[in-house]
Structure 1
Amino acid sequence: MIDHARDLESVQLATERLLAAVGELDNAAVTDQSRLPGWTRGHVLAHLARNADALVNVLEGRPMYASAGDRDADIERGAPRPLDVQLADLRASADRFRAAGAAPADWSRTVELRNGVTDSASRVPFRRWVEVELHHVDLGIGYELEDLPEEFKEREIDFLAERFGGHKDVPSTELRTEDGRIRTTGGGAEGGPVAVEGTAADLLGWLAGRRDGSGLVVKGGPLPSLPPL
């Protein structure tokens, strides 16, 4: 069962880790390439700030972004800012998200995200947690998938396995972590079943497009190609 209040606390802890780590950078490091193609660390930081505001919009019943073009323009505009401005924006946007999460609300209601995607309001805090944790890794500043909280790794694997379940381009695939836990995904494409086994970090990295899957053990066919998130 989703516990939005607990997830809001997890978002806050993840945000504090992120702010502490980013605070150790300098202006030159902000302009360096991140692990995301075509994005500097400044792009990642600007995206994180604007995503917090976008999820405030979602919780308050407004469109997540005015348009895809506006979203992209905001990120480009924010990317070259110096470190102190980036940090101030991250803190302020995180505070706005925390305030929106603390407001009395019906957390069972359905909300609309990007591209017509809908979800329960109770899942929005977890979606923000995902943004903060994975983009912290994307910065390439010493925080790796192995450092992610264990609960987060397990839940994000669950979330992504569900997301790719029945996908027309993914054959039936069984995911196994080292602790023996098994999940299934795919099933909409010919082939399989394929068994993919590895650490939670390696499985999450592959599912989330952060690793190529070379650390995984694959049986029953080639490692499936996953669609972009």
Structure 2
Amino acid sequence: MRRTFDDAHRWARLGTELVLEAAADLDDDAFAAPSALPGWSRAHVAAHVAANAEALSNLVHWAATGEPTPMYASPGERAAGIERGRALPAARLVARLRDSAGALEQGMAALGEEQWRARVVTAQGRTVPATEVPWLRSREVCVHAVDLANGVSFADLPPDFLTALCDDVVAKRAALPGPAVLLRAPEAGAAWELPGDGASALVTGELHDIAAYLTGRDAGPLTADGTPAPTLGAWL
């Protein structure tokens, strides 16, 4: 992985700023409009990001106290919480976004070196050190800032974050069935390979285009022979 703990924390702060800026001027009607995610309004995205901060705060509490505190009580409760959040008036939803992010940052700031090494369990069931929390948050806020569809694009995200994001997504996709794809971002000096079915398709583009494609936010740049990039399955 081409990232450090300090990188992840920096990206988490930046992504939080982007989310709050993208949400700040949205009224009730604007929040009810579609986001960049199929089937979700902007309010769904904002509620999800707020709930994520609260869930990651549970992991911070786990690391701080040693008391096992899952991110979510259950998948059903996670979904229900998003539904409750997306029904909030715009001002309250923005306040929840801001307050939950602030509480998470405050909790992380209070962790000591030993507490950061504590093992916690993510919503996907992975056991990781608490030092992964800033990366989990940076991935969440940076990508969903784009999903709010209010002026933020993948091109606005730092190249080092985009590289780390592509590393992360490729590692996850490599364990799943799908098409074989070679991905190249020449200007960034970066390349990735997705093992899979059939002959490898060569997909070349700007780093931000590759990241959007890998995360399922864009159909992707064309392959070397001018055909559309292979369709990828779900990422998370």
Q: Distance in 2 between matches of 1:28 and 1:84?
A: 12
> 1:18 offset after TM fit, Å?
2.1
Instruction: Report the AA paired with residue 77 of structure 2.
Output: D
> 1:23 offset after TM fit, Å?
1.3
Distance verdict in 2 for CA 1:68–1:19, change over 3 Å: same
> 1:166 offset after TM fit, Å?
4.2
Aligned sequence identity (%): 35
> 1:6-55, CA deviations, whole angstroms, 9 ceiling, x for partnerless residues?
42233122212321232122222111111212211111111110000111
User: Is 1:227 matched up with 2:230?
Assistant: no
Instruction: Report the AA paired with residue 95 of structure 1.
Output: G
Contact 2:219–2:231 under 8 Å retained in 1: no
In structure 2, runs of 5+ residues without a counterpart are: 63-68
Q: Distance in 2 between matches of 1:35 and 1:222?
A: 20
The equivalent position to 1:143 in structure 2, one of 152, 161, 164, is: 152
Tell me the residue number matched to 2:81: 74
Contact 2:201–2:223 under 8 Å retained in 1: no
Distance verdict in 2 for CA 1:199–1:6, change over 3 Å: closer
Contact 1:172–1:194 under 8 Å retained in 2: yes
Distance verdict in 2 for CA 1:194–1:109, change over 3 Å: farther
> 1:41-89, CA deviations, whole angstroms, 9 ceiling, x for partnerless residues?
1111111100001111123331110000100001101102122101111
Tell me the residue number matched to 2:107: 100
Instruction: Report the AA paired with residue 27 of structure 1.
Output: D
Distance verdict in 2 for CA 1:191–1:49, change over 3 Å: same
Partner secondary structure for residue 124 of structure 2: helix
Instruction: Report the AA paired with residue 43 of structure 1.
Output: H
User: Is 1:114 matched up with 2:115?
Assistant: no
Q: Distance in 1 between matches of 2:145 and 2:81?
A: 19
Q: Which TM-score applies when normalising by structure 1? A: 0.88
Contact 1:109–1:121 under 8 Å retained in 2: yes
Distance verdict in 2 for CA 1:42–1:176, change over 3 Å: same
Instruction: Report the AA paired with residue 233 of structure 2.
Output: P
> 1:112 offset after TM fit, Å?
1.1
Q: Which TM-score applies when normalising by structure 2? A: 0.86
Query: Larger relative CO (CA 8 A, sep 6+): 1 or 2?
Result: 2
Q: Distance in 1 between matches of 2:41 and 2:77?
A: 19
Q: Distance in 1 between matches of 2:232 and 2:127?
A: 22
Tell me the residue number matched to 1:43: 44
> 1:105 offset after TM fit, Å?
4.4
Contact 2:19–2:144 under 8 Å retained in 1: no
Instruction: Report the AA paired with residue 48 of structure 2.
Output: H
> 1:145 offset after TM fit, Å?
1.3
Stretch of structure 1 that moved more, 3-12 or 81-90: 3-12
User: Is 1:175 matched up with 2:176?
Assistant: no
Tell me the residue number matched to 1:201: 208
> 1:122-145, CA deviations, whole angstroms, 9 ceiling, x for partnerless residues?
222111111111111111111111
